[in-house]
């Protein structure tokens, strides 16, 4: 997958190969930073403002000062698309860390390290159509999952566990209460009602999750933000995930068992359609 040449940094635009960080870097040594992944369709950001708002919320939560205004950052991110002549489906990755400094747990007196780059990313059309298989696994993460922090080791291990089982995603649960997935939010449909975990500190407040709520409301589908259990998952009529890279993804198997008939459900398909319209996706 191609990474575009020009990278946005706290020092302006630089070429990918010119970007180097010292080994005493807070992101590398402590995971002391935050990040965002923003979807790009046909060379245009989808939900840019929502992601940048969350970036600033994450920064505040870890007491990281971002030395630029939101509107200036958005302007520069738009310029990043331009300087790279991006016309494809892609993603933007950006991260900000507490800078480079001699290793010490306490906050350093250092400038932040910031970079943002774009990489091609085709839509996962086959999976969106067929649905994906998943596993369940205990949620061993910290108590601040609403912060999009660089500390992703439990998420990495869970995703790898899913892949080792030939699956796409791992569904987290806390003593049987389902929270979210390693890199997406999760929903069940029961008797025409969508259930998903409330926006607490136990999940990431997904930008696509907010959209799912909006689509459900405009389609008159009841959307209930309430914890549900592993048992509810296995008895659901439909299960789906959401994230910027997975969009609205049907789940057809959990731990080797079919969800209902083992086919993507009707409500999930309606939401997928609403997503495509909202994101201006053309075939
Ligand atoms: C743990 C977790 N939950 C949920 C999401 C979905 O967030 P979004 O819809 O903003 O992409 C992600 C995205 O990467 C994630 O890492």
Measured CA to CA, the distance from residue 36 to residue 33 in angstroms comes to 11
CA of 31 to the centre of ligand 1 (A): 18
Measured CA to CA, the distance from residue 276 to residue 211 in angstroms comes to 11
Decide if pLDDT at 47 tops 80.
Answer: yes
Residue 25 lies in a domain: yes
Instruction: Write out pLDDT tens, residues 116-173.
Output: 999 999 999 999 999 999 999 999 999 999 999 999 999 999 999 999 999 999 999 9
In DSSP terms, 141 is beta-bridged to none
- Name the band, by pLDDT with cuts 50, 70 and 90, for residue 283: low
Whether the CB of 206 sits within 6 Å of ligand 1: yes
Residue 36 lies in a domain: yes
**What dihedral angle (degrees, nearest 10) is formed by the CA atoms of 114, 61, 119, 6?**
-20
Exposure of 232 in the CB half-sphere (CA atoms within 13 A): 20
Measured CA to CA, the distance from residue 274 to residue 277 in angstroms comes to 5
For the chain, give the number of residues.
Answer: 283
Average pLDDT value for residue range 221-236: 97
155 with 226, same domain: the answer is: yes
14 with 102, same domain: the answer is: yes
Residue 199 lies in a domain: yes
CA of 242 to the centre of ligand 1 (A): 7
The pLDDT value recorded for residue 49 is 98
Most informative mutation of 93, 206, 212, 246 for ligand 1 (most atoms within 8 A of CB): 206
97 with 196, same domain: the answer is: no
- Whether 226 and 198 have beta carbons less than 8 Å apart is answered as yes
43 with 148, same domain: the answer is: no
129 with 251, same domain: the answer is: yes
- Name the band, by pLDDT with cuts 50, 70 and 90, for residue 90: very high
49 with 110, same domain: the answer is: yes
Which ligand 1 atom sits nearest the alpha carbon of residue 211? 9
DSSP secondary structure code for residue 54 in this structure: H
Whether the CB of 150 sits within 6 Å of ligand 1: no
What tokens appear for 196 in the block?
């998903």
Measured CA to CA, the distance from residue 146 to residue 54 in angstroms comes to 9
End-of-domain residue from the set 94, 120, 146: 120
CA of 37 to the centre of ligand 1 (A): 9
Whether the CB of 207 sits within 6 Å of ligand 1: yes
The pLDDT value recorded for residue 280 is 96
Residue 283 lies in a domain: no
DSSP secondary structure code for residue 17 in this structure: G
CA of 91 to the centre of ligand 1 (A): 13
The owner of tokens 């495509």 is: 276
3-state SS assignment for residue 27: helix
- Whether 252 and 264 have beta carbons less than 8 Å apart is answered as yes
CA of 12 to the centre of ligand 1 (A): 27
Whether the CB of 180 sits within 6 Å of ligand 1: yes
Residue 1 lies in a domain: no
Catalytic residue among 15, 60, 75, 148: 148
Is the pTM here over 0.85, yes or no? yes
The pLDDT value recorded for residue 1 is 66
245 with 269, same domain: the answer is: yes
List Cβ neighbours of 219 (8 Å cut-off, separation of 6 or more): 270, 271, 274
210 with 79, same domain: the answer is: no
Residue 180's Cβ-count burial label (10 Å; 0-12, 13-18, 19+) is: buried
List Cβ neighbours of 277 (8 Å cut-off, separation of 6 or more): none
Nearest CA to ligand 1 atom 15: 183
Instruction: Write out pLDDT tens, residues 98-114.
Output: 999 999 999 999 999 99
Decide if pLDDT at 259 tops 70.
Answer: yes
Measured CA to CA, the distance from residue 206 to residue 244 in angstroms comes to 8
CA of 22 to the centre of ligand 1 (A): 29
Q: Residue 17: which CATH number? A: 3.30.470.10
Average pLDDT value for residue range 241-265: 98
Which residue range forms the structural domain that includes residue 52?
6-120
End-of-domain residue from the set 120, 145, 164: 120
Measured CA to CA, the distance from residue 46 to residue 280 in angstroms comes to 9
Nearest CA to ligand 1 atom 5: 184
For the chain, what is the domain count? 2
Measured CA to CA, the distance from residue 176 to residue 34 in angstroms comes to 29
194 with 108, same domain: the answer is: no
Whether 148 sits among the annotated catalytic residues: the reply is: yes
Percent of the chain predicted with pLDDT > 90: 99
End-of-domain residue from the set 71, 90, 120: 120
Whether the CB of 186 sits within 6 Å of ligand 1: no
Dihedral sign, CA of 172, 175, 178, 180?
negative
269 with 157, same domain: the answer is: yes
The pLDDT value recorded for residue 282 is 73
131 with 266, same domain: the answer is: yes
Whether the CB of 212 sits within 6 Å of ligand 1: no
Exposure of 104 in the CB half-sphere (CA atoms within 13 A): 7
21 with 75, same domain: the answer is: yes
Strands 132-138 and 247-254: parallel
Measured CA to CA, the distance from residue 181 to residue 196 in angstroms comes to 12
Q: Residue 207: which CATH number? A: 3.20.10.10
Distance of CA 107 to the CA centre of its chain: 27
What tokens appear for 168 in the block?
């796409």
């Amino acid at each position: 997958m191609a990474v575009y040449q020009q990278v946005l940094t706290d020092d302006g635009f630089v070429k990918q190969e010119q970007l180097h960080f010292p080994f005493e870097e807070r992101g590398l040594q402590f995971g002391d930073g935050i990040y965002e992944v923003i979807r790009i369709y046909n060379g245009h950001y989808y939900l840019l403002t929502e992601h940048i708002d969350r970036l600033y919320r994450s920064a505040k939560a870890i007491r990281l000062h971002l030395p630029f205004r939101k509107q200036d950052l958005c302007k520069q991110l738009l310029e990043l698309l331009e300087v790279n002549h991006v016309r494809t489906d892609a993603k933007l990755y950006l991260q900000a860390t507490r800078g480079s400094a001699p290793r010490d747990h306490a906050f350093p007196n250092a400038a932040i390290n910031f970079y943002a780059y774009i990489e091609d990313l085709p839509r996962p059309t086959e999976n969106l159509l067929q649905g994906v298989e998943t596993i369940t696994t205990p949620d061993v993460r910290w108590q601040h999952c609403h912060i999009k922090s660089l500390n992703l080791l439990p998420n990495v291990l869970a995703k790898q566990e899913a892949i080792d089982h030939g699956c796409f995603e791992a569904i987290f649960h806390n003593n049987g209460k389902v929270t979210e997935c390693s890199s997406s939010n999760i929903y069940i449909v029961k008797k025409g009602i969508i259930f998903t975990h409330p926006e607490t500190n136990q999940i990431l407040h997904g930008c696509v999750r907010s959209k799912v709520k909006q689509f459900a409301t405009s389609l008159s589908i009841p959307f209930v933000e309430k914890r549900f259990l592993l048992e509810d998952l296995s008895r659901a009529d439909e299960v789906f995930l959401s994230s910027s890279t997975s969009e609205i993804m049907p789940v057809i198997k959990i731990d080797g068992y079919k969800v209902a008939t083992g086919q993507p459900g009707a409500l999930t398909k309606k939401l997928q359609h609403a997503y495509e319209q909202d994101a201006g996706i053309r075939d």
